[in-house]
Chain A
Amino acid sequence: MIPLSYYVAVSVVLFVIGLTGVLIRKNFLIILYAIELMLNAANINFVAFAHYAQDVTGQVVSLFIITIAAAEAAIGLAIIIVLFRKKATTNVDEINLLKW
C-alpha cells in the first residue's frame, strides 16, 4: 500500500506548481489552468486523507470542489471572452486601465 505521505507530497508539488503559475504567467487562460491545479491539489489531499482515515467526508468535499471548479471555469471563460471582444488580448499586462 502506498503511504499517505506520497499523496501529500504529490499534492504539495501540484499546489506549488499552481501557485507559481498564477504568479509568473501572463496569459489569462494559463493562469486559470494554474488555479485549477491548486484546486485539484486540495482534492488529492481530501481524497487521500479520507481514504486513510476511513471517513467519507473528504470524498464528498472533493465532489463539491469539482462542481465548483466547473462553475468557476464557466464564469471565468465567459468574462475572458467578453474581455477578448473588447481588447483582443489574453495578456494580463495589457489590462491596465485601472491603476493609480
Chain B
Amino acid sequence: MTTPPALSLLVILPESILTLLASFIFVVEPFVPKKKKAWIGRLSVVGLLLSGLTIIPLVGRDITAFAGMITLDAYALLFKGILLLIAAAVVTLSFRYVRVEKIEIGEYYGLILFATVGAMLLAASTDLLSIYLSLELMSISFYVLAAFMRKDPKSVESGIKYFLTGVFTSGIILYGIALLYGMAGTTHLGAISAYLSSQEAISPLYVVAIILLIAGVGFKIAAVPFHMWAPDVYEGAPTPVTAFLSTGSKIAVFAAFIRILMTGLHFDPSHFGPLGDLKNWGWLLWWVAALTMTFGNIAALTQTNFKRLLAYSSIAQSGYLLIGLVAASETGRIAVLIYAIAYALMTLGAFATSILLCDKNSRGDQISDFQGVARQHPAIAAAFVIFALSLVGIPPTAGFIGKLYLFNAAIQEGFYSLAVIGILNSVVSLYYYFKIIVAMYMEEAEEERVLSVSRPELAVLAAMAIGTLLLGLYPEAMIRMVMTSVQIFS
C-alpha cells in the first residue's frame, strides 16, 4: 500500500502552507522595521485562514500517506479545522498584548504557527513515531513561547518548569512506545491492534507500556496526579500562549490519545483472564478522571489569580473529557469531541476576557482586576457570564450539551458513580466562576480604569460568546459533523 508522492503532499497541504509561512517569518523577521512588526501577526492570521480554506476540498476523502504515518480522514480534518480556528483566534488576541508586554517580535507568531502544525499533525498521526514527532514539534514551540517574556522572571520560570516537565514526560512516553514496539514489532497503531488481538495471553510488558503511556499523556493533558506543572506554567506564560496551551495543545493531545486508545490498544478483553477483566486501561482512567475532576475543582476554590484559577478549572475540564474515554463507547467518543469543541470556545473566551483587561498598569490576571468591569464595559462582562455558565454546564450553552453527552455516555456504560462525581463537581465549580461574576457586577473598582480595547480582540470575544450560545441552542449541525468523524473507529 503505497500512496503516490503527489497525493501524500496533498494530505499535508494545510500544514505545508503553515510551515512555509513560519519559515518565511523566521527568515524575514530581522529585516522588518520595529514599527511594522504588527504586519507579521496579520500575515499569520491570513496564513491560518488560507490553510483552513485548503481543508475544504479535502473533506470526504480518506487517504493514508507516508507509509501509514499520516492519515487524512474525517476525524483528522475536524480537529485540524478546530485547531486552525483556535490558532487564528490566539494570534488575533496577541496583537495588542504583545505591544503592551513589549514582546513585539516576529518569532512569536512563527512559533505559534509551528505549534499549530505540530498540533494538526498530532491529530492526523496513525503511527506512534509520527505521534511522538508531532508532539515534540508542538511542545518545543511551546517551551519557547512560555518563556517568551524574557524580561519577566515569572515567564522565564514558567518556561523552565514547562520545559523540564515536558521533556521528562516525552522520555516516559518514549519508553512506553519502545516497549510496545519491542512487543508488537511495529509502531503502527493498526498493526499493534492486530498483534494484540492475535495474542493468547496478555504480556506484563504490555501493562508496563500502557501505564507509561497513560502517565506520559496524563502529564500533557494535566490530569491528576500529573498536573503540578499546569498552574505555574499557565500563570507565568503570556496570556495568549496560556490560552493556546490550554485549548489547542490539550485538544490535539486528546485527539492523539483517543486514536492510541481506540485504534492501537483496542481489542476484545474477554479472553485475557484476570487482567482482561479490568477492561484493559479503563479502570486506570476511571481513577484518573475522578481524581482530576475533584482535585481541579477543589483547588480552584481558593485561587486569587485569574489565570491560576482557570488553570485548575482546565485541569477539572480534562477530567470531564476523560469520562468519555472511560466509557469508550461510540457515545463516549462523540461526547469527548463535542465537549472538546465547547471547551475550546469557552476557555478561549475566558482567557480573551483577561487579555482585554490587560493594559500598562495591570496584567488583567488578578480577580481584583475584574472589579467593576460590568459598569464600564457591560459587553465584556456579559460575554464572560456566558463563558462561565458554559464552563459550569448550564443551558443554553455549548458546555451544557457537552456535559449532557459525557454523563449520558458514562451512564449508558454503567459508570454511574463517575457521572455522579462529575455532576457534583459541576456544582462545586459554580462557586469559583461566580466569584468572578460577583467581582464584575457587585464590587467597585479601587480606581477608575479606562480600557483601550481594540476591535480585533472584541471581534474574537464576540465570536466566542456567540459560538458558545449558538452551539448550545442549535447543536444539531455540530453533532452530525462529530458523528461522521468518529465513524473511523467503528
A41-B175 in contact (CB<8A): yes
Residue A42 CB within 8 A of the other chain: yes
Interface presence of B49 (CB below 8 A): no
Q: Are B177 and A42 in contact (CB under 8 A)?
A: yes
| B157 CB contact (under 8 Å) in A42, A97, A100 | A97
Q: How far is the CA of A100 from the CA of B298 in the complex (A)?
A: 13
- A 58-100 to B, binary, CB cutoff 8 A, 1 in contact else 0: 1011001100100110011011101100110000100101111
**Counting CB contacts under 8 A, is B95 at the interface?**
no
| B161 located at the interface, meaning its Cβ lies under 8 Å from any Cβ of chain A in the complex | yes
Contact of B144 among A75, A80, A86 (CB under 8 A): A75
Q: Which residue of A lies closest to B158 (CB)?
A: A98
CA–CA, A15 to B179, complex, Å? 12
Min C-beta distance of A36 to chain B, whole Å: 9
Cβ of B232 under 8 Å from chain A:
yes
State the Cβ distance, B192 to closest chain A Cβ, in Å. 12
Report the separation of the CA atoms of residues A11 and B160 in the bound assembly, to the nearest whole angstrom: 27
* B157 x A28 contact (CB < 8 A): no
B158 / chain A contacts, CB cutoff of 8 Å: 98
* A11 contacts across to B, CB distance below 8 A: 178
Among residues 15 to 38 in chain A, which have CB atoms less than 8 Å away from a CB atom of chain B?
A: 15, 18, 22, 28, 31-32, 35, 38
Given the known A-B contacts A38-B172, A97-B153, are A58 and B164 also in contact in the complex, defined by CB atoms under 8 Å? no
A46–B185 Cα distance when bound, in Å, is: 10
B177 / chain A contacts, CB cutoff of 8 Å: 42, 61
Closest to A98 in B: B232
Interface size of A as a range: 35 or more
* Selected contact of B174 from candidates A31, A42, A79, CB within 8 Å: A42
Question: How far apart sit A28 and B133, CA to CA, in the bound complex (Å)?
Answer: 24
The interface residues of chain A lying within 8 Å CB-to-CB of B178 are 11, 42, 45-46, 49
The CA-CA distance from A82 to B170 in the complex, in Å, is 23
Neighbouring A residues of B60 by C-beta, 8 Å: none
Q: How many Å lie between the Cα of A24 and that of B357 in the bound state?
A: 41
Cβ of B143 under 8 Å from chain A: yes
Does B23 lie at the interface of the complex (its beta carbon under 8 Å from any beta carbon of A)? no
Q: Does B150 lie at the interface of the complex (its beta carbon under 8 Å from any beta carbon of A)?
A: yes
Cβ 8 A contact of B154, one of A65, A76, A98? A98
- Size of the B side of the interface (Cβ < 8 Å), in residues, is 42
- In this complex, the member of A48, A68, A78, A86 whose beta carbon has the largest number of chain B beta carbons within 10 angstroms is A68
Q: Report the separation of the CA atoms of residues A55 and B191 in the bound assembly, to the nearest whole angstrom.
A: 14
Contact code string B131-173 (vs A, CB < 8 Å = 1, else 0): 0110010001001100100100110111111011001101110
In the assembled complex, the Cα of A34 lies from the Cα of B157 at a distance in Å of 20
Contact, CB under 8 Å: B150 / A82:
yes
Residue of A nearest to B305 (CB): A100
**CA of A54 to CA of B334 in the docked complex: distance in angstroms?**
40
Q: A18 CB to closest chain B CB, in angstroms?
A: 7
Q: Which of B133, B178, B186, B187 has the most CB of A within 10 A?
A: B178
Contacts of A1 in B (CB 8 A): none
For residue A42, which residues in chain B have a CB less than 8 angstroms away from its CB?
Answer: 171, 174-175, 177-178
**Is B272 among interface residues, defined by CB-CB distance under 8 A?**
no
Most buried by A among B129, B236, B299: B129
B174 & A72 in contact (Cβ 8 Å cutoff): no
Residues of A within 8 A of B168 (CB): 22, 35, 38
Bound form: Cα–Cα A100–B307 in Å: 12
Q: Tell me the complex Cα distance, A39–B172, Å.
A: 8
Q: How far is the CB of A15 from chain B (nearest CB, A)?
A: 6
A53 within 8 A of partner (CB)? yes
**Known pairs A45-B175, A83-B157, A86-B156; A64 contacts B163 (CB<8 A):** no
List the 8 closest pairs (A to B, CB-CB), nearest first.
A38-B171, A45-B178, A49-B182, A98-B232, A42-B174, A42-B178, A42-B175, A53-B185
B: residues with CB less than 8 A from A are: 129, 132-133, 136, 140, 143-144, 147, 150, 153-154, 156-161, 163-164, 167-168, 170-172, 174-175, 177-179, 181-182, 185-187, 231-232, 235-236, 299, 302-303, 308
What are 30 pairs between A and B in contact, CB < 8 Å? A31-B164, A35-B164, A38-B168, A38-B174, A41-B175, A42-B175, A49-B178, A49-B185, A55-B186, A57-B181, A57-B186, A61-B181, A64-B132, A65-B174, A68-B170, A71-B140, A75-B140, A82-B147, A82-B159, A83-B159, A86-B153, A87-B153, A92-B164, A95-B157, A95-B160, A97-B153, A97-B236, A98-B154, A98-B158, A100-B231
New contact pairs (12) apart from A57-B187, A98-B235, CB-CB < 8 Å: A35-B171, A39-B170, A46-B178, A49-B182, A53-B185, A61-B181, A76-B164, A80-B160, A83-B159, A97-B154, A97-B157, A100-B302
